[in-house]
Structure 1
Amino acid sequence: MKPNHKGTAQIFKNPVLERLTRTHIALPIAIFMVIAVALIYYGLLHGFITVLSAVALFLVGWFLFTFVEYMAHRHLFHMDTDTEVKKNIQYTFHGNHHDYPKDKSRLAMPPIVSLFLASFFFFVFKLIFGSAVFGILSGFLFGYAIYLFVHYAVHAYAPPKNFLKILWIHHSIHHYKHDDKAYGVSSPLWDWILGTMPPEKSK
């Protein structure tokens, strides 16, 4: 199916499940922003991190998110659909977005999934980074919020006349010219490093 500027996909026949696949973009962005601020505040208040380390860890977390975003988009959302199960999973998570890229209600995961992901990353990062989790996860979730904002702006609005135009063009190339290139949404950094920059931009 070719990308359609209008319309929406039906993912579930059950109306309740179908409704849960949709959300207003402001809700998950607000959730991640609030949690990011709360983590920094809690970490500073209880002495788990200092102001200086909070800034450094925040930037590390944000940088880490750009890599996770790229890898998830490339290898999970664009997985090989060589079985019916993989095909259904890929379409549910991402394929429907390529069929209907202008469907504003499906440009972010639902709030319940957002909260689950935030909790999941907290426990994983706590296990790996210890008390540094309060700074790293804050930056990571902030990066997630920025990703959601950029992704929504690209699909909901015309090309801006500022620095976001670069990201708008980059992601539009992924949707309308090369779906095996330009996996980075909030940053083209990893496309450049890992060799998936579109031909138009790699020259």
Structure 2
Amino acid sequence: MARAFDLTLYLVTDPRLVAARGLVATVAAAVKGGATLVQLRDPEAHGRALVEQARALKALLKPLGIPLIVNDRVDVAVAADADGVHLGQDDMAPADARALLGPDRILGLSVGTPAEFAASDLAGVDYLGVGPVTATGTKADAGAAIGTAGLAAVRALTRLPIVGIGGIDRALAADVIRAGADGVAVVSAICAAPDPEDAARALKAAVTAAR
């Protein structure tokens, strides 16, 4: 059984947006503001550099009880003793990832449409990332925007926890929750904010109010 996690405010890092402030400093500020889960996503980093980033974030987050998820890379997650992995549709099959991760780590999977959901292997998956809700510039291979109606359509198909992702900001957060998401995943809304702590606090308040 996977360790406990809270999808309320899910921060996904972007190396371009956190460069000036620094990865650890940005995440620390976001967590102080209320981020409940952190995903390390850095397609520009490979091997050792990615493991070092993951270990630095793990050292920050573990004492706070906040899980660290690594995007795509099961090997990096295991090497850095991260709390889990998030997979895209073109990544390792969830069943294979679960076999490598063991029963205790968190496993997430991206799903964009009901058809994609139906075609997905959900063996061992703990939550779904559903989107992109709106157009996003932080992920080059993101699919077409599905809107809150598309998110609601996926919600109707599963009892797994889901987090909405893709172009979500404070103004849209409440609509995403009302469409059935358990939380919101954000990138630029926190990473590009002048004050990540204040941005996280405002987003979490919007989610809480919508519930």
TM-score (norm 2): 0.27
TM-score (norm 1): 0.27
Give the strand-richer structure, 1 or 2: 2
Give the helix-richer structure, 1 or 2: 1
Q: Which has the larger radius of gyration?
A: 1
